[in-house]
């Protein structure tokens, strides 16, 4: 699993998603409840950016139709979304946030 530095931890405001792109994959980074999460930035119900949504209770809400996705698992917590979105491993090294979007073979 290859981790890539995406930003400084100090660049992530609490409960404010930040969109980044890693190897062509859109990722939303979220710092909340003392942790940093990386979740695919595209809603599984509609092709819109989750990083434009709100964060609450360790979930990110799609701004278009209101589906929320658990930042830990990617699972939707309500309709209209029924499919989860991918989540990615995150490591913090000093002030560096590292994310891996590659799959193990």
pLDDT in tens, 38-90: 999 999 998 899 999 999 999 999 999 989 999 999 999 988 999 999 999 99
Judge whether residue 16 has pLDDT over 80: yes
Instruction: Quote the pLDDT of residue 103.
Output: 61
Instruction: Give Cα separations from 47 to 13, 18, 31 (angstroms).
Output: 25, 17, 23
Judge whether residue 30 has pLDDT over 70: yes
Evaluate if pTM is beyond 0.75: yes
What distance in Å separates the CA atoms of residue 46 and residue 72, rounded to the nearest whole number?
20
């Amino acid at each position: 699993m290859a981790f890539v530095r995406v930003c400084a931890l100090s660049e992530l405001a609490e409960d404010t998603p930040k969109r980044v792109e890693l190897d062509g994959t859109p990722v939303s980074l979220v710092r909340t409840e003392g942790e940093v999460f990386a979740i695919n930035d595209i809603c599984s119900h509609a092709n819109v950016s989750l990083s434009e949504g709100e964060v609450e209770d360790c979930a990110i809400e799609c701004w278009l139709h209101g589906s929320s996705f658990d930042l830990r698992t990617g699972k939707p917590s309500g309709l209209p979304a029924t499919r989860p979105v991918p989540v990615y491993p995150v490591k913090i090294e000093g002030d560096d946030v590292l994310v891996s979007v590659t799959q193990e073979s």
